[in-house]
Amino acid sequence: MIANLIAFPYMLLFFAVWIFSSLARPVLVLSLFCVTSKPAAAFRKFQLFLTTVRFMLLSKDKSWKRPKDDPQDFFELRNDVGVTNVDSIRKKSIIFVRHGESTWNDTFNKGDRSKFKFALLFVPNLVYAFYVEWYFWVTGASYESWFYDSPLSEKGLKQALGVQSYLSTTKVEFLTPRERALVEVLLGTSNVTKSQLVSSNLRRAISTMLLGFQDRLRRNGDERVQLLSCLQEISRNPDALSITPARGKALPSWTEPDGLQYLYDRVDTSRYDGNKSVDSNGLVRLDAFCQYAFKDEATDGTDAIVAAGHSLWFRSFFQVYLPYEVDHVAKKKKLINGGIVGFTLERIETKENTFHYRIDPKSITTLHGGF
């Protein structure tokens, strides 16, 4: 009995190798036949693979440090930092909406699964993920991927629709004045605050924005969702690289239900510059978002921006622009998938005509989900 138990793993490995060797040749022949019949799609997939390798080896996306200057210093109106006066301070309401979980998360992250279940299913899930990737390759689906710019998973779709449910069921009369003002911004029903919807260029963020805010988009027939490269996630992994080309058309992913093209037609890519560069870094994009927020010609003079994006990007934003002495959970923990948080972003101009930004710590308001 003991001998059989010891031999079992070796027998399992033997049969696995035997099955793989038996299938390897016909699978390879089939793959080569399919690929040569659609060379353009195969070349596109090869380009995505090369981009993945290049970013994983050379990317500097996380190679930056928090600036030495505390943002609070510039708002204390001291002469030694060259601040003009309090009249130069401008304010903008910002609301972050984190995307739902992705197929990448489903494969590599434990999530709310037990450690035992995650470990037990990791290899089968990984094999299935590679099978799906192979299927896209041989069928010529060059703009689909499980790993690259990973779309919402089944759980992620539910979380995105959870944003829609939150917006459609929240009773504003039971909220605090601050919460009510932010929810009205989300709904697009505020009489005093004009808002703009923007999204990261990654598919899971686009999908979360479109599904979560579909009721608002239906009500406001001419409203568009602005796609921004500066909101792209801070990571060198392939799931943080964008499939959508610069100024290209945003398309529904394979995980989403049919009939959503009408929502994707509402995505405006006129200001979208494409994938992040390999020699750029996350801090550059954080600053670029701040610049965008206060650029009137880009935001149409809006008072608030609702941004769909990513956990590391959001956490980094709080770490950089919250006063350094402020101890807030947003600096340490990720906003949960489908979570929503609002705050006031301030900008001040110095005598040297440079701009500095600060998050008002008292303005941070968690609306849905949390950290």
Mean pLDDT of 13-39: 57
In total, the chain counts a number of residues equal to 371
Please report, for the chain, the start and end positions of each structural domain, with discontinuous segments joined by +.
2-62+105-138, 71-103+146-368
Cβ neighbours, 10 Å, residue 24: 10
pLDDT (tens digit, 9 = 90+) per residue, 312-356? Answer: 999 999 999 999 999 999 999 999 999 999 999 999 887 777 899
Confidence of residue 273 (pLDDT cuts 50, 70, 90): very high
Is the CB of residue 100 less than 8 Å from the CB of residue 338? yes
More confident position, 82 or 155: 155
When pLDDT is averaged across residues 121-139 and rounded to a whole number, the result is: 87
pLDDT (tens digit per residue) in 175-230? 999 999 999 999 999 888 899 999 999 999 999 999 999 999 999 989 999 999 99
- Nearest 5°: the CA angle 202, 273, 254 is 30
pLDDT score for 107: 93
List, in order, residues 6 or more apart from 177 with CB less than 8 Å away.
none
Query: Cα(75)–Cα(321) distance, rounded to whole angstroms?
Result: 12
| pLDDT for 22 beyond 70 | no
d(CA 234, CA 287): 13
pLDDT of res. 140: 81
* Strand spans (E) along the chain: 90-98, 195-200, 225-228, 267-268, 304-309, 340-349, 355-359, 365-368
Please tell me the predicted confidence (pLDDT) of residue 351: 73
Q: CB within 8 A of 241, min separation 6: which ones?
A: 48, 51, 52, 55, 148, 149, 275, 276
pLDDT tens-digit profile of 226-264?
999 999 999 999 999 999 999 999 999 999 988 889 999
Residue 34 is predicted with a pLDDT of: 60
**Which CATH fold would you assign to the domain 71-103+146-368?**
Rossmann fold (3.40.50)
Work out whether the CA dihedral 158, 164, 166, 168 comes out positive or negative: negative
Q: Do 100 and 155 form a contact (C-beta atoms < 8 A)?
A: yes
Residue 68 pLDDT exceeds 60: yes
Which range has highest mean pLDDT (16-30, 44-58, 149-163)?
149-163
Residue 77 structure tokens: 């109106």
CB atoms within 10 A of CB 238: 20
Work out the mean pLDDT of the chain and round it to a whole number.
88
